[in-house]
Amino acid sequence: MPFIAFARPDIGQAEINAVARVMRSGWVTTGPETRAFEQDFAAHLGGGVQAIAVNSATAGLHLALEAIGIKPGDQVIAPTLTFTATVEVARYLNADAALVDVDASTLCIDPACIEAAITPRTKAIVPMHYGGLACDMTAVFDIARRHGLYVVEDAAHALPATCQGTLIGQLPSAAAVFSFYANKTMTTGEGGMVVTRDTALAARMRTMRLHGINRDAFDRFQSRTPAWYYEVVAPGFKYNMTDIAAALGRVQLQRLPEFVQRRQQLAARYRAELQDLPLILPADAPPGETHAWHLYVIRLADQARVTRDELIQTLSDAGIGTSVHYVPLHRQPYWRDRYNLEPKQFPVAERAYQRMISIPLFTAMSDDEQGRVIAALRAALR
């Protein structure tokens, strides 16, 4: 029986044609297609945001923290239950990460833990919208306002989630950073997008995105008048998106509504057919809100008769791929050793980690494939 991968990108002929068109155009790096993608993405979100395309969400987070002025010795608060990219970018700037626990229901950052972690060195909060469910941003912004902190959203999972009826990316944070990695809700293969309403931050991130140069290569090389001159105004980075990736992204963005609908269908079927098993199913979005359903993370309940690792092996034996999101950062050697972290400091994330499995959920998944996942889970947990 064919193996069901944990995730598989949904790439069609339209995406292939768009990439081929760019490859025939004579311009494959950052140029008109990337600009068009930025404009399309900003228009999709609305609310007057500016969009800066980058080669990864990690790059976007780094640019955002650099642009808001994070300096050596500053502190950035983020959840322990996230990918290392969320906080490694603070270390790029010689700042420190303060890791905190998550909410037991949503697995998003716990606002009470944010408040408890604030010190005179704290400059920013980086909430991560776990699995596609928006954090309690009302509480996050309240804390940030009272303490004079920036908010930079790790929105890698969150396209197109909403909070208080507003799309993630339109909220009043300094910046929000989306990921277009291969398994995300839309993909450019590798890539990301930073959005902000702050024109100064946008200008800084555009400059730092490409070596600190004050002109794009496309402007310099395509101008009909002599335009070879440029200036390096800062020691920037190499974080630009290519037109090949942008062409893929523009088609994927057009398909995003159908992608979201399919993910919602898959999530609803999982909920309906797994709810009688000894599992804690992922929290749904509040009424009237949108869950992006990037991940479907189940947790074994107390009455389950198998361990997490046994269930992963059983599913693997049945030809079903899974993952775990995430090994909490307090368990990772670098973060553990640098900050002397122990599991008992993060009881919610630690308990969730011991019991969680991410099961397949992707738009190219067929009904029959999902049926196989459900049947295997029922056989293992009945």
Catalogue the active-site residues.
184
> How many angstroms separate the CA atoms of 44 and 235, rounded?
32
Helical H segments across the chain, by residue range: 13-25, 32-45, 57-67, 85-92, 111-117, 137-147, 199-209, 217-222, 243-274, 308-317, 333-339, 347-355, 367-381
Three-state DSSP state, 77: strand
Residues 6+ apart with CB under 8 A from 127: 78, 79, 108, 109, 135, 137, 140, 151, 153, 154
CA 5 to chain centre: 20
With the C-alpha atoms ordered 192, 193, 194, 199, is the resulting torsion angle positive or negative? positive
Q: Which two tokens stand for residue 183?
A: 């398994």
With the C-alpha atoms ordered 313, 319, 325, 326, is the resulting torsion angle positive or negative? positive
Q: Which two tokens stand for residue 122?
A: 């704290």
> How many angstroms separate the CA atoms of 177 and 5, rounded?
26
With the C-alpha atoms ordered 256, 262, 265, 267, is the resulting torsion angle positive or negative? negative
Q: Are 229 and 223 in contact (CB under 8 A)?
A: no
Rounded to the nearest 5 degrees, what angle is found at the Cα of 361, between the Cα atoms of 355 and 363?
A: 170
With 0-12 / 13-18 / 19 or more C-beta atoms within 10 angstroms meaning exposed / middle / buried, residue 90 is buried
Residues 6+ apart with CB under 8 A from 49: 42, 169, 170, 195, 196, 197
